[in-house]
Amino acid sequence: MFFEKYRLVSMPPARFARLRVDQEKCVGCHRCVESCPIQLLEIYENKVRSNERYDQFRCLTCENCVVVCPNDAIIIEGEYRVPKGFWKNEHLFKSEKTPPSPLGTPPHVPFETYRDQLTDIEKTIYLRRSNRLYRSKQVESNLIERVIEAGRFAPSAGNNQPWKFIVIQNPAILDELNQKVKKRLKFFSALCFPHEWLDKKAPGDKSARLKRWQRFLLSVLVHFVGGDADQRAHGGLNAVTSDPSYHSFFHAPTVILLLVDKRAIGGTELDMGICAQNMVLAAHSLKLGTCYVDLVSKTLEYDKKFSRKLGIRYPFVVATTLAIGYPKGTIDGLVSREKARIEWIR
């Protein structure tokens, strides 16, 4: 039993969701391609298709491509399920994903029929999507300040309020940060992926597999980095590092570094998570788009000179970053999610 639990840590056998494109509806607008966090989609002969370059990085079922498509051309079927090994999860879910049902309505009941019964906060929560399509228009300072103000009033352990915010709107600085992130992540890509998959422009090799030393390394790393060793996280890492034209912040006009005082009471992850989500909900209620980009912390931790250039000094460290800007077209919309696991004790 013990050995079974720790088997198949690297690239476990999994049932991924199936992504289909209705070629009759698709107009090749490229919106779904840019919105996919693992760059699963590509344009071929003016139509979108699934990138079949490799097998292990498949659909995460975030459904952002479904929401941003103006013609309802994307169909996602099935869920991500791992039947055995360290990442086994199929026993954790009782059914397929469903749309939101805050009033207990059946899943097939249209959202618009009960939308007016919801609070504004509920509407924002259910409709908010991560945005990777930004207009070039800069976000006004007063709106950024409103977003940060929402974060400032988040609860924190012992009311220690451990946060600090660095707002970057300088395109040159954002491009420099992007290049530093990509350079560092390429090192990890070389450790974690078959080398045949490291260049998105190459045809790739579906039969490529990890070396024995890579499998051993991942078996060790999982105890230190946890879910960051999940193959779905590898898909996002490969998207950033395998394509030279991919921008870590999606060319968002503003990026906010979210810093925490490393001495904070009870740790910093929960406090900053609550603060950041306050900011995200406020931003979307103001018709802005946001996307968490959790690629920066280690890059800046080891690049002290650039960190000081950005104004990062002890006792503050970067927890995560938030890309923010005006969405390019419709981004927010309803998706399905796994049903909540609830045990009642009464």
Q: Which of 111, 154, 176, 86 is nearest to 336 (CA)?
A: 111
Flag whether 147 is in a domain. yes
pLDDT band at 91 (very low <50, low <70, confident <90, very high): confident
337 residue type, one letter: R
Could you tell me the residue range of the domain that residue 271 belongs to? 141-169+253-325
Flag whether 62 is in a domain. no
Flag whether 260 is in a domain. yes
Average pLDDT over residues 195-205: 72
Q: What is the pLDDT of residue 50?
A: 77
Structural domains of the chain, count: 1
Tell whether the model's pLDDT for residue 153 goes beyond 60: yes
Average pLDDT of the chain, as a whole number = 87
Q: What is the pLDDT of residue 184?
A: 85
What distance in Å separates the CA atoms of residue 277 and residue 297, rounded to the nearest whole number?
Answer: 18
Cis peptide before 315 (omega within 30 of 0): yes
Q: What is the pLDDT of residue 10?
A: 77
Flag whether 161 is in a domain. yes
Q: Which of 235, 249, 239 is nearest to 320 (CA)?
A: 249
What distance in Å separates the CA atoms of residue 303 and residue 298, rounded to the nearest whole number?
Answer: 9
Do 102 and 26 form a contact (C-beta atoms < 8 A)? no
Count of H-run helices and E-run strands, the chain: 11, 8
Q: What is the pLDDT of residue 52?
A: 65
Across 91-105, 118-132, 291-305, the highest mean pLDDT is recorded for: 118-132
pLDDT digits (tens, 9 = 90+) for 10-26: 778 888 888 888 888 98
192 residue type, one letter: C
Q: What is the pLDDT of residue 288?
A: 97
Buried (b) or exposed (e) across 278-291, using 16+ Cβ within 10 A?
Answer: bbbbbbbbeebbbb
Average pLDDT over residues 150-154: 97
Tell whether the model's pLDDT for residue 151 goes beyond 80: yes
Flag whether 286 is in a domain. yes
Q: What is the pLDDT of residue 206?
A: 72
What distance in Å separates the CA atoms of residue 66 and residue 77, rounded to the nearest whole number?
Answer: 12
Flag whether 11 is in a domain. no
pLDDT band at 324 (very low <50, low <70, confident <90, very high): very high
Flag whether 309 is in a domain. yes
CATH code (residue 298): 3.40.109.10
Average pLDDT over residues 131-156: 96
pTM of the shown model:
0.90
**Number of C-beta neighbours around residue 6 at 10 A:** 12
Q: What is the pLDDT of residue 53?
A: 64
Query: How do 254-261 and 289-293 pair as beta strands?
Result: unpaired
Q: What is the pLDDT of residue 227?
A: 78
pLDDT digits (tens, 9 = 90+) for 25-84: 988 888 998 898 888 887 777 788 777 666 666 788 889 999 999 999 998 888 889 988
Flag whether 264 is in a domain. yes
Strand partners, 98: 337
Higher pLDDT pick, 333 / 48: 333
Average pLDDT over residues 189-196: 80
Share of the chain above pLDDT 90, in %: 43
Average pLDDT over residues 268-284: 95
Integer-rounded Cα Rg, in Å, for the chain is 21
